[in-house]
Structure 1
Amino acid sequence: MTLLTAERTPAGTSYLATGQGQPVVLIHGVGLNKEMWGGQIVGLAPHYRVIAYDMLGHGASPRPASGTDLVGYAEQLLELLDHLELAQASIIGFSMGGLIARAFALHYPQRTGGLVVLNSVFNRSPEQSAGVIERARQVAEHGPNANAEAALARWFSREYQAANPAQIAALRQTLASNDPQGYLTTYELFATQDMYRADALHGIRVPALIATGELDPGSTPQMARELAARIPGAEVAVLAEQRHMMPVESPRLVNQLLLDFLHRAQTIENPAEGIVA
Protein backbone atom coordinates (compact mmCIF):
# COMPACT_ATOMS: atom_id res chain seq x y z
CA MET A 1 0.00 0.00 0.00
CA THR A 2 1.26 3.49 -0.86
CA LEU A 3 1.84 5.61 2.23
CA LEU A 4 -0.46 8.62 2.05
CA THR A 5 0.79 12.07 2.98
CA ALA A 6 -1.61 14.27 4.92
CA GLU A 7 -2.47 17.62 3.40
CA ARG A 8 -4.19 20.71 4.83
CA THR A 9 -6.97 23.03 3.75
CA PRO A 10 -6.51 26.82 4.08
CA ALA A 11 -8.41 26.64 7.40
CA GLY A 12 -6.02 23.99 8.69
CA THR A 13 -8.07 20.79 8.37
CA SER A 14 -5.75 17.80 7.99
CA TYR A 15 -6.88 15.22 5.44
CA LEU A 16 -5.84 12.25 3.33
CA ALA A 17 -7.09 11.72 -0.23
CA THR A 18 -6.56 8.83 -2.63
CA GLY A 19 -8.28 6.95 -5.45
CA GLN A 20 -10.37 8.17 -8.34
CA GLY A 21 -14.04 8.37 -9.21
CA GLN A 22 -17.02 9.59 -7.23
CA PRO A 23 -15.87 11.23 -3.96
CA VAL A 24 -16.53 9.61 -0.60
CA VAL A 25 -15.69 11.42 2.66
CA LEU A 26 -15.03 9.55 5.91
CA ILE A 27 -15.64 11.21 9.31
CA HIS A 28 -14.19 9.49 12.39
CA GLY A 29 -15.55 9.27 15.94
CA VAL A 30 -14.81 11.33 19.04
CA GLY A 31 -11.32 10.82 20.43
CA LEU A 32 -10.08 9.17 17.23
CA ASN A 33 -8.66 10.59 13.98
CA LYS A 34 -8.53 9.92 10.25
CA GLU A 35 -6.16 7.00 10.78
CA MET A 36 -9.06 4.83 12.02
CA TRP A 37 -10.20 4.49 8.39
CA GLY A 38 -7.17 2.57 7.12
CA GLY A 39 -9.21 -0.52 6.30
CA GLN A 40 -11.84 1.51 4.45
CA ILE A 41 -9.29 3.55 2.51
CA VAL A 42 -7.72 0.32 1.21
CA GLY A 43 -11.11 -1.21 0.40
CA LEU A 44 -12.82 1.78 -1.19
CA ALA A 45 -9.99 3.56 -3.02
CA PRO A 46 -9.93 1.14 -5.99
CA HIS A 47 -13.51 2.24 -6.74
CA TYR A 48 -13.90 5.79 -5.39
CA ARG A 49 -12.00 8.95 -4.54
CA VAL A 50 -11.68 8.56 -0.77
CA ILE A 51 -11.08 11.49 1.58
CA ALA A 52 -10.57 11.07 5.34
CA TYR A 53 -10.03 14.06 7.61
CA ASP A 54 -9.48 15.00 11.24
CA MET A 55 -12.50 16.69 12.77
CA LEU A 56 -12.04 19.86 14.80
CA GLY A 57 -10.09 19.28 17.99
CA HIS A 58 -8.67 15.97 16.80
CA GLY A 59 -5.51 14.73 15.09
CA ALA A 60 -3.73 17.53 13.25
CA SER A 61 -6.79 19.74 12.71
CA PRO A 62 -7.33 22.97 14.68
CA ARG A 63 -9.19 23.17 17.95
CA PRO A 64 -12.83 24.30 17.75
CA ALA A 65 -13.65 27.72 19.12
CA SER A 66 -15.44 27.75 22.45
CA GLY A 67 -19.14 27.13 21.97
CA THR A 68 -18.80 25.54 18.52
CA ASP A 69 -21.94 23.57 17.69
CA LEU A 70 -22.65 20.83 15.16
CA VAL A 71 -23.06 23.44 12.43
CA GLY A 72 -19.44 24.46 13.01
CA TYR A 73 -18.31 20.87 12.50
CA ALA A 74 -20.44 20.67 9.33
CA GLU A 75 -18.86 23.91 8.10
CA GLN A 76 -15.43 22.32 8.51
CA LEU A 77 -16.52 19.62 6.05
CA LEU A 78 -17.93 22.25 3.69
CA GLU A 79 -14.59 24.07 3.65
CA LEU A 80 -12.84 20.78 2.86
CA LEU A 81 -15.15 20.10 -0.10
CA ASP A 82 -14.69 23.65 -1.34
CA HIS A 83 -10.91 23.30 -1.08
CA LEU A 84 -11.02 20.06 -3.09
CA GLU A 85 -13.43 21.68 -5.58
CA LEU A 86 -15.99 18.94 -5.04
CA ALA A 87 -19.55 19.94 -5.84
CA GLN A 88 -20.90 16.90 -4.01
CA ALA A 89 -19.74 13.82 -2.10
CA SER A 90 -21.12 10.78 -0.34
CA ILE A 91 -20.64 11.36 3.39
CA ILE A 92 -19.85 8.44 5.72
CA GLY A 93 -19.81 9.25 9.43
CA PHE A 94 -18.91 6.94 12.30
CA SER A 95 -20.30 7.55 15.81
CA MET A 96 -19.76 11.32 16.43
CA GLY A 97 -18.97 11.51 12.73
CA GLY A 98 -22.49 10.25 12.11
CA LEU A 99 -23.90 13.28 13.93
CA ILE A 100 -21.75 15.54 11.76
CA ALA A 101 -22.83 13.71 8.61
CA ARG A 102 -26.48 14.16 9.59
CA ALA A 103 -25.96 17.87 10.27
CA PHE A 104 -24.15 18.30 6.96
CA ALA A 105 -26.95 16.57 5.02
CA LEU A 106 -29.50 18.84 6.71
CA HIS A 107 -27.64 22.11 6.21
CA TYR A 108 -25.96 21.41 2.85
CA PRO A 109 -28.27 19.02 0.98
CA GLN A 110 -27.00 20.19 -2.40
CA ARG A 111 -23.47 19.06 -1.46
CA THR A 112 -24.58 15.64 -0.17
CA GLY A 113 -24.69 12.85 -2.74
CA GLY A 114 -25.37 10.08 -0.24
CA LEU A 115 -25.42 9.59 3.53
CA VAL A 116 -24.05 6.70 5.60
CA VAL A 117 -24.32 6.76 9.39
CA LEU A 118 -22.32 4.00 11.09
CA ASN A 119 -22.60 3.07 14.77
CA SER A 120 -24.09 6.41 15.74
CA VAL A 121 -26.62 7.57 18.32
CA PHE A 122 -30.24 8.61 18.14
CA ASN A 123 -32.97 9.11 20.72
CA ARG A 124 -31.06 7.91 23.76
CA SER A 125 -33.14 6.71 26.69
CA PRO A 126 -32.96 8.77 29.90
CA GLU A 127 -30.60 6.16 31.35
CA GLN A 128 -28.36 6.23 28.27
CA SER A 129 -28.29 10.02 28.30
CA ALA A 130 -27.42 10.12 31.99
CA GLY A 131 -24.54 7.69 31.41
CA VAL A 132 -22.94 9.61 28.55
CA ILE A 133 -23.43 12.97 30.29
CA GLU A 134 -21.64 11.54 33.32
CA ARG A 135 -18.79 10.43 31.07
CA ALA A 136 -18.62 13.98 29.68
CA ARG A 137 -18.38 15.29 33.25
CA GLN A 138 -15.50 12.91 33.93
CA VAL A 139 -13.75 14.14 30.78
CA ALA A 140 -14.13 17.72 31.97
CA GLU A 141 -12.62 16.79 35.33
CA HIS A 142 -9.92 14.31 34.36
CA GLY A 143 -9.17 14.90 30.67
CA PRO A 144 -9.38 12.76 27.53
CA ASN A 145 -8.06 9.62 29.23
CA ALA A 146 -10.86 9.56 31.79
CA ASN A 147 -12.92 6.81 30.14
CA ALA A 148 -10.36 5.06 27.94
CA GLU A 149 -10.52 1.57 29.38
CA ALA A 150 -14.32 1.52 29.56
CA ALA A 151 -14.49 2.88 26.01
CA LEU A 152 -12.22 0.18 24.63
CA ALA A 153 -14.32 -2.48 26.37
CA ARG A 154 -17.45 -1.08 24.72
CA TRP A 155 -15.81 -0.68 21.35
CA PHE A 156 -14.08 -4.04 20.76
CA SER A 157 -14.74 -7.69 21.40
CA ARG A 158 -12.54 -9.32 24.02
CA GLU A 159 -11.14 -11.63 21.34
CA TYR A 160 -10.07 -8.73 19.12
CA GLN A 161 -8.44 -6.92 22.03
CA ALA A 162 -6.51 -10.04 23.01
CA ALA A 163 -5.38 -10.72 19.42
CA ASN A 164 -4.31 -7.13 18.68
CA PRO A 165 -2.61 -5.74 21.80
CA ALA A 166 -0.35 -3.35 19.87
CA GLN A 167 -3.27 -1.75 18.05
CA ILE A 168 -5.27 -1.43 21.27
CA ALA A 169 -2.26 0.17 22.98
CA ALA A 170 -1.92 2.63 20.09
CA LEU A 171 -5.61 3.54 20.35
CA ARG A 172 -5.24 4.00 24.09
CA GLN A 173 -2.38 6.42 23.39
CA THR A 174 -4.44 8.25 20.75
CA LEU A 175 -7.24 8.81 23.25
CA ALA A 176 -4.85 10.02 25.95
CA SER A 177 -3.03 12.43 23.62
CA ASN A 178 -6.14 14.34 22.45
CA ASP A 179 -6.24 18.09 22.99
CA PRO A 180 -8.23 18.38 26.25
CA GLN A 181 -10.41 21.32 25.22
CA GLY A 182 -11.02 20.06 21.70
CA TYR A 183 -11.94 16.63 23.00
CA LEU A 184 -14.26 18.04 25.66
CA THR A 185 -16.08 20.36 23.23
CA THR A 186 -16.64 17.45 20.86
CA TYR A 187 -17.61 14.98 23.57
CA GLU A 188 -20.19 17.35 25.03
CA LEU A 189 -21.84 17.62 21.60
CA PHE A 190 -21.71 13.85 21.23
CA ALA A 191 -23.36 13.51 24.65
CA THR A 192 -26.22 15.94 24.01
CA GLN A 193 -27.00 16.20 20.29
CA ASP A 194 -28.42 12.76 19.45
CA MET A 195 -31.79 14.40 18.61
CA TYR A 196 -30.28 17.30 16.64
CA ARG A 197 -33.01 18.62 14.33
CA ALA A 198 -34.80 15.27 14.47
CA ASP A 199 -37.99 16.91 13.22
CA ALA A 200 -36.20 17.90 9.99
CA LEU A 201 -34.74 14.50 9.09
CA HIS A 202 -37.67 13.78 6.77
CA GLY A 203 -36.22 16.47 4.51
CA ILE A 204 -33.10 14.39 3.71
CA ARG A 205 -33.75 13.22 0.16
CA VAL A 206 -30.54 11.40 -0.78
CA PRO A 207 -29.79 7.67 -0.63
CA ALA A 208 -29.11 6.84 3.00
CA LEU A 209 -27.81 3.86 4.95
CA ILE A 210 -27.97 3.59 8.73
CA ALA A 211 -25.91 0.70 10.11
CA THR A 212 -24.60 -0.57 13.42
CA GLY A 213 -23.44 -3.74 15.13
CA GLU A 214 -25.74 -6.24 16.79
CA LEU A 215 -23.68 -5.97 19.99
CA ASP A 216 -22.99 -2.22 19.97
CA PRO A 217 -24.11 -1.12 23.47
CA GLY A 218 -24.11 2.64 22.86
CA SER A 219 -25.28 2.82 19.25
CA THR A 220 -27.89 0.13 19.33
CA PRO A 221 -29.84 -1.58 16.54
CA GLN A 222 -32.98 0.10 17.89
CA MET A 223 -31.35 3.52 17.48
CA ALA A 224 -30.40 2.66 13.89
CA ARG A 225 -33.96 1.59 13.08
CA GLU A 226 -35.50 4.68 14.67
CA LEU A 227 -33.12 7.01 12.84
CA ALA A 228 -33.72 5.29 9.50
CA ALA A 229 -37.47 5.55 10.01
CA ARG A 230 -37.10 9.36 10.02
CA ILE A 231 -35.26 9.51 6.67
CA PRO A 232 -37.34 8.68 3.58
CA GLY A 233 -36.14 5.50 1.89
CA ALA A 234 -33.23 4.96 4.25
CA GLU A 235 -31.80 1.44 4.44
CA VAL A 236 -30.94 -0.25 7.74
CA ALA A 237 -28.20 -2.81 8.34
CA VAL A 238 -27.37 -4.55 11.62
CA LEU A 239 -24.18 -6.59 11.35
CA ALA A 240 -24.29 -9.80 13.36
CA GLU A 241 -21.95 -10.14 16.36
CA GLN A 242 -20.30 -6.76 15.71
CA ARG A 243 -19.52 -4.18 18.38
CA HIS A 244 -18.95 -0.43 18.09
CA MET A 245 -15.63 -0.34 16.24
CA MET A 246 -16.76 -2.64 13.45
CA PRO A 247 -15.02 -0.56 10.73
CA VAL A 248 -11.71 -1.39 12.47
CA GLU A 249 -12.50 -4.86 13.81
CA SER A 250 -14.19 -6.14 10.63
CA PRO A 251 -13.10 -3.91 7.72
CA ARG A 252 -13.91 -6.39 4.95
CA LEU A 253 -17.44 -6.87 6.23
CA VAL A 254 -18.02 -3.11 6.55
CA ASN A 255 -16.36 -2.40 3.22
CA GLN A 256 -18.68 -4.80 1.41
CA LEU A 257 -21.67 -3.13 3.07
CA LEU A 258 -20.41 0.29 1.95
CA LEU A 259 -19.50 -0.78 -1.59
CA ASP A 260 -22.89 -2.41 -2.12
CA PHE A 261 -24.70 0.69 -0.86
CA LEU A 262 -22.57 3.16 -2.81
CA HIS A 263 -23.12 1.17 -6.00
CA ARG A 264 -26.90 1.14 -5.45
CA ALA A 265 -26.87 4.85 -4.65
CA GLN A 266 -24.92 5.63 -7.80
CA THR A 267 -27.36 3.54 -9.86
CA ILE A 268 -30.27 5.50 -8.40
CA GLU A 269 -28.58 8.79 -9.33
CA ASN A 270 -27.69 7.50 -12.82
CA PRO A 271 -30.46 5.03 -13.77
CA ALA A 272 -28.92 4.27 -17.18
CA GLU A 273 -26.04 2.52 -15.39
CA GLY A 274 -28.45 -0.14 -14.21
CA ILE A 275 -29.70 -0.98 -17.71
CA VAL A 276 -28.22 -4.05 -19.37
CA ALA A 277 -28.47 -4.01 -23.18
Structure 2
Amino acid sequence: MSVGGVDLHVRADGPVDGPTLLMLHGFGASTAWFDQVVARLPEFRIIRVDLLGHGGSERPTSGYDPESQGRLYSRLLSELDLTDVTVVGHSMGSLFGVATAEHSTRITRLVLIGEGPDTSTGTLPAGEWIIHIPWIGPILQHHGPAFVTSRVVRRAFAPGFDMTTAFANPGQGLDDARSLNHPAFTQSMKQRQAWTRQRGLDARLANLGLPALVIFGREDRFYNVDAALARYRAVQTITTTALEHVGHTPIIEAPDRVADLLREFLDRGDTAGNE
Protein backbone atom coordinates (compact mmCIF):
# COMPACT_ATOMS: atom_id res chain seq x y z
CA MET A 1 0.00 0.00 0.00
CA SER A 2 1.01 3.61 -0.55
CA VAL A 3 0.30 5.50 2.68
CA GLY A 4 0.99 9.21 2.54
CA GLY A 5 3.39 8.57 -0.33
CA VAL A 6 5.24 5.83 1.57
CA ASP A 7 5.12 2.24 0.31
CA LEU A 8 4.30 -0.23 3.08
CA HIS A 9 4.08 -4.01 2.90
CA VAL A 10 0.79 -4.82 4.65
CA ARG A 11 -0.68 -8.27 5.26
CA ALA A 12 -4.25 -9.02 6.33
CA ASP A 13 -5.44 -12.33 7.82
CA GLY A 14 -8.73 -13.52 9.28
CA PRO A 15 -12.40 -12.63 8.82
CA VAL A 16 -13.16 -9.03 7.87
CA ASP A 17 -15.77 -8.80 10.64
CA GLY A 18 -13.49 -10.16 13.39
CA PRO A 19 -12.00 -8.05 16.20
CA THR A 20 -9.13 -6.06 14.70
CA LEU A 21 -5.50 -6.38 15.77
CA LEU A 22 -2.68 -4.27 14.32
CA MET A 23 0.63 -6.09 14.81
CA LEU A 24 3.92 -4.20 14.68
CA HIS A 25 7.08 -6.30 14.79
CA GLY A 26 10.38 -5.44 16.45
CA PHE A 27 13.67 -3.97 15.28
CA GLY A 28 15.41 -6.06 12.62
CA ALA A 29 12.39 -8.36 12.25
CA SER A 30 9.40 -8.63 9.89
CA THR A 31 5.75 -9.67 9.77
CA ALA A 32 6.94 -13.32 9.77
CA TRP A 33 7.80 -13.06 13.47
CA PHE A 34 4.05 -13.03 14.22
CA ASP A 35 3.24 -16.10 12.08
CA GLN A 36 2.81 -18.51 14.99
CA VAL A 37 0.55 -16.21 17.01
CA VAL A 38 -1.57 -15.32 13.97
CA ALA A 39 -2.13 -19.03 13.27
CA ARG A 40 -3.57 -19.38 16.79
CA LEU A 41 -6.01 -16.44 16.44
CA PRO A 42 -8.18 -17.43 13.44
CA GLU A 43 -11.20 -15.47 14.69
CA PHE A 44 -9.39 -12.11 14.58
CA ARG A 45 -8.89 -9.69 11.70
CA ILE A 46 -5.13 -9.21 11.90
CA ILE A 47 -3.26 -6.50 10.05
CA ARG A 48 0.52 -6.82 9.98
CA VAL A 49 2.98 -4.26 8.66
CA ASP A 50 6.65 -4.48 7.79
CA LEU A 51 7.99 -1.46 9.63
CA LEU A 52 9.57 1.33 7.62
CA GLY A 53 13.01 0.20 6.46
CA HIS A 54 12.23 -3.48 7.08
CA GLY A 55 11.03 -6.44 5.02
CA GLY A 56 8.99 -5.44 1.99
CA SER A 57 8.39 -1.83 3.05
CA GLU A 58 10.10 1.26 1.68
CA ARG A 59 13.62 2.18 2.84
CA PRO A 60 13.84 5.99 2.89
CA THR A 61 16.74 7.93 4.40
CA SER A 62 14.63 9.46 7.20
CA GLY A 63 11.34 9.14 9.07
CA TYR A 64 12.38 6.45 11.54
CA ASP A 65 11.59 8.37 14.71
CA PRO A 66 8.56 7.21 16.76
CA GLU A 67 6.59 10.39 16.03
CA SER A 68 6.86 9.99 12.26
CA GLN A 69 6.11 6.29 12.38
CA GLY A 70 3.17 6.85 14.73
CA ARG A 71 1.65 9.28 12.22
CA LEU A 72 2.35 6.82 9.39
CA TYR A 73 0.58 3.85 10.99
CA SER A 74 -2.23 6.11 12.20
CA ARG A 75 -2.79 7.10 8.59
CA LEU A 76 -2.74 3.42 7.61
CA LEU A 77 -5.63 2.75 10.01
CA SER A 78 -7.54 5.63 8.44
CA GLU A 79 -6.84 4.37 4.91
CA LEU A 80 -8.16 0.94 5.90
CA ASP A 81 -11.07 2.54 7.80
CA LEU A 82 -10.44 0.40 10.89
CA THR A 83 -11.96 1.18 14.28
CA ASP A 84 -11.79 -0.34 17.77
CA VAL A 85 -8.26 -1.52 17.05
CA THR A 86 -5.99 -3.31 19.51
CA VAL A 87 -2.33 -2.65 18.73
CA VAL A 88 0.07 -5.51 19.47
CA GLY A 89 3.70 -4.44 19.42
CA HIS A 90 6.76 -6.60 19.91
CA SER A 91 9.97 -4.98 21.17
CA MET A 92 10.52 -1.69 19.30
CA GLY A 93 7.16 -2.19 17.59
CA SER A 94 5.66 -1.44 21.01
CA LEU A 95 7.06 2.10 20.87
CA PHE A 96 5.53 2.67 17.47
CA GLY A 97 2.24 1.20 18.71
CA VAL A 98 2.12 3.72 21.56
CA ALA A 99 3.11 6.52 19.18
CA THR A 100 0.31 5.44 16.82
CA ALA A 101 -2.20 5.56 19.68
CA GLU A 102 -1.06 9.11 20.44
CA HIS A 103 -2.04 10.09 16.90
CA SER A 104 -5.21 8.01 16.41
CA THR A 105 -8.55 7.70 18.15
CA ARG A 106 -9.14 4.41 16.30
CA ILE A 107 -7.05 2.53 18.88
CA THR A 108 -8.83 1.36 22.03
CA ARG A 109 -6.31 -1.05 23.61
CA LEU A 110 -2.58 -1.70 23.51
CA VAL A 111 -0.40 -4.76 24.02
CA LEU A 112 3.34 -4.34 24.56
CA ILE A 113 5.55 -7.43 24.37
CA GLY A 114 9.18 -7.42 25.47
CA GLU A 115 9.66 -3.64 25.64
CA GLY A 116 10.74 -1.63 28.66
CA PRO A 117 9.41 1.84 29.49
CA ASP A 118 12.74 3.36 28.39
CA THR A 119 16.32 2.35 27.68
CA SER A 120 17.35 2.78 31.34
CA THR A 121 15.79 -0.66 31.97
CA GLY A 122 17.62 -2.36 29.09
CA THR A 123 21.01 -3.27 27.68
CA LEU A 124 22.31 -3.43 24.10
CA PRO A 125 24.54 -6.16 22.67
CA ALA A 126 28.26 -5.58 23.18
CA GLY A 127 29.84 -3.88 20.17
CA GLU A 128 26.53 -2.48 18.88
CA TRP A 129 28.16 0.97 18.59
CA ILE A 130 30.30 -0.26 15.67
CA ILE A 131 27.26 -0.46 13.38
CA HIS A 132 26.71 3.30 13.75
CA ILE A 133 30.08 4.18 12.15
CA PRO A 134 29.58 5.59 8.61
CA TRP A 135 30.79 3.34 5.79
CA ILE A 136 32.00 0.65 8.18
CA GLY A 137 28.60 0.06 9.75
CA PRO A 138 26.68 -0.71 6.54
CA ILE A 139 29.39 -3.12 5.36
CA LEU A 140 29.35 -5.02 8.65
CA GLN A 141 25.56 -5.09 8.80
CA HIS A 142 25.01 -6.46 5.30
CA HIS A 143 28.21 -8.36 4.60
CA GLY A 144 29.70 -9.24 7.97
CA PRO A 145 30.08 -12.87 9.12
CA ALA A 146 26.69 -14.56 9.33
CA PHE A 147 27.52 -16.11 12.69
CA VAL A 148 27.91 -12.63 14.27
CA THR A 149 24.49 -11.44 13.09
CA SER A 150 22.91 -14.78 13.97
CA ARG A 151 24.36 -14.52 17.48
CA VAL A 152 22.63 -11.16 17.97
CA VAL A 153 19.35 -12.62 16.67
CA ARG A 154 19.81 -15.58 19.02
CA ARG A 155 19.96 -13.16 21.95
CA ALA A 156 16.30 -12.35 21.31
CA PHE A 157 15.42 -15.83 22.65
CA ALA A 158 15.91 -17.58 25.97
CA PRO A 159 19.08 -19.65 26.41
CA GLY A 160 18.44 -23.18 25.19
CA PHE A 161 15.50 -22.28 22.94
CA ASP A 162 15.41 -24.50 19.84
CA MET A 163 15.89 -22.00 17.00
CA THR A 164 14.88 -24.62 14.41
CA THR A 165 11.29 -24.18 15.61
CA ALA A 166 11.28 -20.38 15.32
CA PHE A 167 10.49 -19.85 11.63
CA ALA A 168 9.20 -21.77 8.63
CA ASN A 169 12.23 -20.37 6.78
CA PRO A 170 15.37 -21.35 8.75
CA GLY A 171 17.19 -18.23 7.51
CA GLN A 172 14.38 -15.81 8.41
CA GLY A 173 16.10 -14.22 11.40
CA LEU A 174 19.36 -13.58 9.55
CA ASP A 175 17.57 -12.35 6.41
CA ASP A 176 15.42 -9.92 8.39
CA ALA A 177 18.36 -8.55 10.38
CA ARG A 178 20.24 -7.84 7.17
CA SER A 179 17.25 -6.45 5.25
CA LEU A 180 16.88 -3.07 6.94
CA ASN A 181 18.86 -0.17 5.53
CA HIS A 182 21.54 1.63 7.52
CA PRO A 183 19.49 4.78 8.26
CA ALA A 184 16.75 2.57 9.70
CA PHE A 185 19.32 0.88 11.91
CA THR A 186 21.06 3.97 13.28
CA GLN A 187 18.15 6.42 13.41
CA SER A 188 15.71 3.98 15.02
CA MET A 189 18.11 3.24 17.86
CA LYS A 190 19.10 6.84 18.57
CA GLN A 191 15.67 8.41 18.20
CA ARG A 192 14.05 5.68 20.27
CA GLN A 193 16.30 6.61 23.17
CA ALA A 194 15.56 10.32 22.81
CA TRP A 195 11.81 9.77 22.56
CA THR A 196 11.56 7.58 25.65
CA ARG A 197 13.90 9.87 27.58
CA GLN A 198 11.45 12.69 26.89
CA ARG A 199 8.62 10.54 28.31
CA GLY A 200 8.73 6.82 29.05
CA LEU A 201 6.15 4.35 27.77
CA ASP A 202 4.70 4.00 31.27
CA ALA A 203 4.01 7.74 31.41
CA ARG A 204 2.70 7.79 27.86
CA LEU A 205 0.30 4.92 28.60
CA ALA A 206 -0.88 6.69 31.75
CA ASN A 207 -1.54 9.81 29.69
CA LEU A 208 -3.46 7.86 27.03
CA GLY A 209 -5.62 6.19 29.67
CA LEU A 210 -6.30 3.15 27.46
CA PRO A 211 -6.32 -0.43 28.76
CA ALA A 212 -2.88 -1.94 28.16
CA LEU A 213 -1.29 -5.34 28.58
CA VAL A 214 2.48 -5.72 29.03
CA ILE A 215 4.02 -9.16 28.49
CA PHE A 216 7.62 -10.10 29.28
CA GLY A 217 9.56 -13.33 29.22
CA ARG A 218 11.39 -13.90 32.50
CA GLU A 219 14.59 -14.75 30.62
CA ASP A 220 14.59 -11.61 28.46
CA ARG A 221 18.23 -10.80 27.68
CA PHE A 222 17.61 -7.22 26.56
CA TYR A 223 15.72 -5.91 29.61
CA ASN A 224 15.82 -6.00 33.39
CA VAL A 225 12.37 -7.54 33.63
CA ASP A 226 11.75 -6.73 37.31
CA ALA A 227 12.71 -3.08 36.87
CA ALA A 228 10.57 -2.72 33.74
CA LEU A 229 7.52 -4.41 35.30
CA ALA A 230 7.78 -2.30 38.45
CA ARG A 231 7.46 0.83 36.33
CA TYR A 232 4.46 -0.49 34.41
CA ARG A 233 2.68 -1.78 37.51
CA ALA A 234 2.56 1.74 38.88
CA VAL A 235 0.08 2.68 36.12
CA GLN A 236 -3.52 1.81 36.94
CA THR A 237 -4.58 1.02 33.37
CA ILE A 238 -1.78 -1.49 32.73
CA THR A 239 -1.98 -5.25 33.24
CA THR A 240 1.37 -7.03 33.45
CA THR A 241 2.44 -10.63 33.13
CA ALA A 242 5.79 -12.46 33.00
CA LEU A 243 6.18 -15.84 31.32
CA GLU A 244 8.61 -18.29 32.87
CA HIS A 245 11.33 -19.95 30.77
CA VAL A 246 10.71 -17.44 27.94
CA GLY A 247 13.04 -14.79 26.54
CA HIS A 248 12.60 -11.55 24.60
CA THR A 249 10.31 -13.06 21.96
CA PRO A 250 7.24 -14.68 23.57
CA ILE A 251 5.37 -14.48 20.24
CA ILE A 252 7.66 -17.25 18.97
CA GLU A 253 8.80 -18.95 22.16
CA ALA A 254 5.31 -19.24 23.73
CA PRO A 255 2.71 -18.50 21.02
CA ASP A 256 -0.06 -20.53 22.70
CA ARG A 257 0.27 -18.56 25.92
CA VAL A 258 0.45 -15.24 24.10
CA ALA A 259 -2.69 -16.06 22.10
CA ASP A 260 -4.51 -16.98 25.33
CA LEU A 261 -3.37 -13.75 27.00
CA LEU A 262 -4.61 -11.67 24.07
CA ARG A 263 -8.03 -13.32 24.19
CA GLU A 264 -8.26 -12.91 27.97
CA PHE A 265 -7.24 -9.25 27.72
CA LEU A 266 -9.83 -8.42 25.07
CA ASP A 267 -12.55 -10.35 26.91
CA ARG A 268 -11.77 -8.74 30.26
CA GLY A 269 -12.46 -5.17 29.20
CA ASP A 270 -10.95 -2.30 31.21
CA THR A 271 -10.02 -4.18 34.41
CA ALA A 272 -6.27 -4.17 35.05
CA GLY A 273 -4.33 -6.75 37.03
CA ASN A 274 -0.90 -8.29 37.43
CA GLU A 275 0.56 -11.78 37.41
TM-score range, shorter chain: 0.7 to 0.9
Deviation at 1:178, TM superposition (A): 2.3
Residue 82 of structure 1 aligns with an amino acid whose one-letter code is: S
1:188-238 CA distances to partner (integer Å, 9 max, x unpaired)?
334554445234442121111011100002133224414423533210000
Deviation at 1:251, TM superposition (A): 1.3
Aligned residues: 257
Identity %: 23
Task: Tell me if the contact between 1:106 and 1:203 (Cα under 8 Å) persists in the aligned partners.
Answer: no
Q: TM-score, normalised by structure 1?
A: 0.81
Task: Verify: 1:149 aligned to 2:146, yes or no.
Answer: no
Higher relative CO (Cα under 8 Å, sequence separation at least 6) belongs to 2
Residue 48 of structure 2 aligns with an amino acid whose one-letter code is: A
Cα distance in 1 for residues equivalent to 2:210 and 2:165: 39
Q: Pick from 77, 90, 94: which aligns with 1:94?
A: 90
Pairs within 5 Å for 1:1-277: 9=3, 11-20=6-15, 21-44=18-41, 46-66=42-62, 68-108=64-104, 110-125=105-120, 128=122, 131=124, 135-140=128-133, 141-143=136-138, 144=141, 148-156=149-157, 157-161=159-163, 167-198=169-200, 199-229=203-233, 231-265=235-269, 268=270
SS at match of 1:152: helix
Q: How much is the aligned-residue C-alpha RMSD, in angstroms?
A: 2.8
Task: Tell me if the contact between 1:93 and 1:118 (Cα under 8 Å) persists in the aligned partners.
Answer: yes
Cα distance in 2 for residues equivalent to 1:30 and 1:223: 22
Task: Tell me if the contact between 2:156 and 2:222 (Cα under 8 Å) persists in the aligned partners.
Answer: no
Cα distance in 1 for residues equivalent to 2:107 and 2:120: 30
Cα distance in 2 for residues equivalent to 1:17 and 1:82: 15
Change (3 A) 1:206 1:68: same
Residue segments in structure 2 that go unaligned for 5+ positions in a row: none
Cα distance in 2 for residues equivalent to 1:189 and 1:133: 19
Larger helix share, 1 or 2: 1
Deviation at 1:186, TM superposition (A): 2.1
Cα distance in 1 for residues equivalent to 2:21 and 2:79: 15
Q: TM-score, normalised by structure 2?
A: 0.81
Range with bigger deviation, 112-121 or 251-260:
251-260
Residue segments in structure 1 that go unaligned for 5+ positions in a row: 1-6, 270-277
